[in-house]
C-alpha cells in the first residue's frame, strides 16, 4: 500500500505519516522546501515523540521516500497514478497550489482500479471539498474528464485534532506532539467499496458535528488563550492559563460555543462539558511549551467568517444568544499585529491602519451589514484602532 502526502512539516511527519506508517503504508512525502526534502532523502528514519502527563512514548517512522514537488513534478504524478491515498497538511491557503499536480496524477489513473482516496488534513471546514473544487476546475481537469472522474478519485472531508507545538531547534526530522489524537473522516464517498485501511481513523456518516465541535472548542480555546496571553505578555499558552483572568475568558468563550454545539448538533450538554474540560487540560499541557506567538499566528485566517471566533459568534448573534466572550477573544486577535515572523499579523496592521472599521470587518471577517454580528465587530475594531 502507498500513500502520497503533500506537506512534510510537523503535522505531516508527526501526525499523518505516523497513522499511515502504523497502518502499513509506504509514505511518499511531497514538498517544495529543499531543506526538508533533502533531510528526508538522506535519512532512513525519524522519531515521533508522544508527550503526556503520564510520560512519553516514541514511534520510529521508516518506509518513506521524499520528492521535491517543485523540481520533480513528473515523479509526483507517477506516484499518484499508483497510490492508494493522497493526503495533505499544507495549510488551507496552499490547497490551490497542490491541486494541479494531484489533478494530473488522478487523470492518469486507470478507471478500473480502486479510486484513490483524497483526504485533506487541515484546520478548516470542508478542506477536502475545497481541494476537490480546485482539482476539478477547468484549468486543472478538462470538462470531458469530469463525467467519470469519480472512477479515479474519491474525496473525503476530515477533522483532525492533535496539538503539535513548536519543535526544539535541534530536533531535525523528529517531531514532538501530544498523545491525544482524533482523526475523523467521512465514510459516504466510499459507499461502493471499503474506505482505506488506516488504523485509528474514525469513519462517520456525518462529519459536520465533529468538525464544528473540534474547531469551536479546541481551536477556539487554544487561540483565545494565545491572544489573551499575548496581550498580557505571557510566554506560552500554559503560562497564560495559569492566569485566572485569562482562564476565565477561555472558559466563557467555550461556554458560548458549547451553547451553539449542543443546540445545533444534539450533543449532550454533559458530554460537551466533559469535552471542554479535556480540551482545557490539553491546551494547558506544560510539557508542550507552546509559545503564544506560534499559536496566534495567521490572525487574518483565524478572524475569517467560518473560523473559530466569528463563525460561532455570527450564529449565536442570529439566534439572540450571548457571544460577548467570543467578541473579546476576537478583539485580542485584532490586537495581534506586527508580530515578528508572522506575515498575516503585519498585513492585519496595515489593514487596520489604512481602512475604516466597517471596511475592515467586511474584508477580514467576511461579515456584511445584514449580519447581526456586524455592528458589534465594527465597535471592537473602532476600539482597537482608537488605541493604536
Here the cell at position 196 is 482505506
CA 162 to chain centre: 10
Q: Judge whether 155 and 103 are in contact, CB under 8 Å.
A: no
C-alpha cell at 306: 467560518
Sign (positive/negative) of CA torsion 232, 238, 239, 242?
positive
What Cα–Cα distance (Å) separates residue 97 from each residue in 93, 94, 212?
8, 5, 26
Instruction: Provide the terminal-to-terminal Cα distance of the chain, rounded to the nearest Å.
Output: 55
Q: From CA 30, how far away is CA 69, in angstroms rounded?
A: 6
CA distances from 108 to 81, 151, 189, 195 (A): 6, 12, 20, 21
| Residue appearing with cell numbers 482539482 | 135
Q: Is 96 designated active site? A: no
State the catalytic residue, choosing from 214, 278, 306, 350. 214
Active site residues: 214
Amino acid at each position: 500500500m502507498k500513500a502520497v502526502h503533500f506537506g512534510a512539516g510537523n503535522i505531516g511527519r508527526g501526525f499523518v505519516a505516523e497513522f499511515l506508517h502504523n497502518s502499513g503504508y509506504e509514505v511518499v512525502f511531497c514538498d517544495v522546501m529543499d531543506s526538508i526534502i533533502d533531510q528526508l532523502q538522506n535519512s532512513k528514519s525519524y522519531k515521533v515523540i508522544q508527550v503526556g502527563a503520564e510520560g512519553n512514548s516514541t514511534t520510529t517512522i521508516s518506509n518513506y521516500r521524499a520528492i521535491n514537488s517543485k523540481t520533480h513534478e513528473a515523479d509526483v504524478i507517477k506516484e499518484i497514478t499508483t497510490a492508494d491515498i493522497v493526503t495533505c497538511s499544507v495549510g488551507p491557503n496552499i490547497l490551490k497550489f497542490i491541486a494541479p499536480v494531484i489533478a494530473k496524477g488522478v487523470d492518469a489513473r486507470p478507471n478500473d482500479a480502486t479510486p484513490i482516496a483524497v483526504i485533506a488534513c487541515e484546520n478548516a471546514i470542508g478542506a477536502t471539498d475545497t481541494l476537490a473544487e480546485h482539482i476539478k476546475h477547468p484549468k486543472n481537469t478538462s470538462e470531458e474528464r469530469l463525467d467519470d472522474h469519480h472512477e479515479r478519485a474519491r474525496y473525503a472531508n476530515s477533522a483532525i485534532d492533535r496539538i503539535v507545538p513548536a519543535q526544539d531547534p535541534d530536533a531535525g526530522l523528529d517531531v514532538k506532539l501530544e498523545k491525544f489524537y482524533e482523526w475523523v473522516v467521512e465514510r459516504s464517498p466510499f459507499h461502493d467499496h471499503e474506505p482505506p485501511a488506516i488504523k485509528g481513523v474514525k469513519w462517520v456518516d456525518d462529519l459536520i458535528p465533529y468538525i464544528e465541535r473540534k474547531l469551536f472548542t479546541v481551536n477556539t480555546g487554544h487561540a483565545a488563550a494565545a491572544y489573551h496571553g499575548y496581550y498580557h505578555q505571557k510566554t506560552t499558552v500554559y503560562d497564560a492559563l495559569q492566569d485566572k483572568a485569562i482562564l476565565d475568558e477561555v472558559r466563557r468563550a467555550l461556554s458560548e460555543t458549547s451553547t451553539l454545539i449542543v443546540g445545533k448538533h444534539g450533543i449532550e450538554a454533559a458530554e460537551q462539558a466533559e469535552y471542554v474540560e479535556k480540551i482545557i487540560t490539553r491546551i494547558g499541557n506544560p510539557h508542550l511549551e507552546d509559545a503564544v506567538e506560534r499559536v496566534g499566528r495567521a490572525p487574518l485566517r483565524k478572524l475569517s467568517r467560518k473560523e473559530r471566533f466569528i463563525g460561532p459568534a455570527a450564529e449565536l448573534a442570529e439566534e439572540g444568544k450571548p457571544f460577548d466572550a467570543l467578541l473579546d477573544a476576537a478583539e485580542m486577535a485584532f490586537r495581534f499585529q506586527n508580530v515578528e515572523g508572522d506575515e498575516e499579523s503585519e498585513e492585519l496592521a496595515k489593514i487596520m491602519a489604512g481602512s475604516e472599521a466597517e471596511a475592515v470587518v467586511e474584508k477580514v471577517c467576511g461579515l456584511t451589514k445584514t449580519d447581526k454580528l456586524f455592528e458589534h465587530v465594527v465597535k471592537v475594531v473602532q476600539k482597537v484602532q482608537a488605541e493604536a
